[in-house]
Amino acid sequence: MNKDIKNTVKEVSDKVDDAVDKTKDVAKEAAEKTKDTAEKAKDTAKDTAEKAKDGLKDLKDKAKDHLGDAKDTVEDFAGVAEDEFNRLYGEDGKLESVVNFVRDRPILSVSIAAFIGFIMTKIVKSRCKHCK
């Protein structure tokens, strides 16, 4: 009987050792899979961060380009407006020439205005059916 107990204890001990070894193997495999999963998650997060960074850089560059274009457009418009203002109101401008003509020759200026008004009245009355 002693032999049977020794054999049973040895069998149980061997089974326990096998179970411990299998548990160690499963734990080691689970740890490796967890490590691999963590590394993949880290790589995915790093890739996502890089893509976001690149996207923001592209957005910044596009905004900078559009603002530069808008600035150029505003500067061009300001230059055209300044040129037109100088053409009309500057010392040699057309409006300044008219103002100087009226100041220098007031009677002639009033006569020209009256003549233009008379001609415009005739034109309007000739086209208006109920004004006759």
Q: What residues does each domain of the chain span?
A: 2-89
| pLDDT value for 91 | 66
9-41 per-position pLDDT tens digit:
778 788 877 877 888 887 788 778 777 777 787
Average pLDDT over residues 106-112: 90
| pLDDT value for 35 | 76
55-92 per-position pLDDT tens digit:
878 888 887 877 777 888 888 888 888 887 777 666 66
Q: Which residues of 14-37 are buried (b: 16+ CB within 10 A; e: fewer)?
A: eeeeeeeeeeeeeeeeeeeeeeee
Q: Mark residue 128 as left, alpha or beta (left: phi above 0; alpha: psi -120 to 50; beta: remaining).
A: beta
User: Is the pLDDT assigned to residue 132 strictly greater than 60?
Assistant: no
Q: Please, are residues 102 and 109 in contact by the beta-carbon 8 Å criterion?
A: yes
Upper half-sphere CA count for residue 38 (Cβ side, 13 Å): 6
| pLDDT value for 79 | 83
| pLDDT value for 24 | 80
Cα–Cα nearest to 110, from 122, 120, 121, 101:
101
